[in-house]
Copies of this chain bind each other. A is one copy, B any other.
């Protein structure tokens, strides 16, 4: 017993030293940024008929409106690696998702800059600073945050899941709620895809990292643009694309979005996804079997669809992997593994994969 206790104390000591050194590494070293800036990319334009009249400048005649572009903020660190990481947020989110975490720690933006990757953070068309969309929209404040707390698997409100990797203080939770930002036009996967593909045309070969609803446009971008060298998807749900005739049966779920269905695309398009490495991560507190606990069951259907999808890609010669983080010993993650309390561990897991695939040159 005495010995075991000592060993434990030593391990705790080592963990503390490791934690402190990580903290020191992350908090104290300045970032060396060779270049940073922002721009709009993609989008379309309308021009009203007639001529612009300088004396009637509030008449639409002859005037233009540009919209449906993405907004991009980029940073290139000194001694950068070859492939940039292009980050596409999920539903209700903006590029903020990848920045500081709700409790103020470094998010994937800083973590991967420190690991010498150029980073591109997008606000997709009709979101955040890319607010000019080509469609009309109305926005209404709607009290729904306890729903999102639950849907995003922080817990079953008001309970946090035991050992969940989300801070328990109310200030962090408020930051999490405030990082949501509304659509300024309906979500359109084709519009998002077009803008992300335009970004790859501009910057060249890179790695696309998506979250949640960004997953669908992510697959479509990789099909549309061969400059997408790999895709990393955190918790995709909708938008899995299967060859015509091979769409699997819908997966029933007690989740609020009902049964999950795949989307049919031509086999030739599907085959393009077999040419690049793909990794998909899911966090914790996802049901293994159907259940009436709707949040756990919602993500069960997503995880199952991802597994079927990866299996089919691999059957066709692809290189797709689904990593359910708890099975890799990484426990307690919400729908936002990249900003959870253990996000350095989650980043380590991604770094390991990038290295394994030769994507960190």
Contact = CB atoms under 8 A, between A and B. Distances in A.
Contact of A182 (B39, B100, B131): B131
A81 to B, nearest CB: 16
A180 interface: yes
Contacts of A175: 39-40
Contact of A147 (B57, B100, B141): B57
Interface in A90-142: 94-96, 99-100, 104, 106, 110, 123, 127-142
A307 interface: no
A69 interface: yes
A78 B106 CA distance: 18
Interface string A283-322: 0000000000010000000000000000000000000000
A139 B143 contact: no
Instruction: Name the interface size band of chain A.
Output: 35 or more
A145 to B, nearest CB: 5
Contact of A37 (B32, B99, B141, B179): B99
A245 interface: no
A146 interface: yes
Interface string A12-50: 000000000000000000111110111110010111100
A187 interface: no
Given A128-B181, A137-B139, 19 more contacts: A31-B31, A32-B33, A33-B33, A38-B99, A40-B175, A46-B141, A54-B156, A60-B143, A63-B145, A63-B147, A65-B142, A67-B178, A127-B131, A129-B181, A130-B178, A130-B181, A132-B141, A136-B139, A182-B184
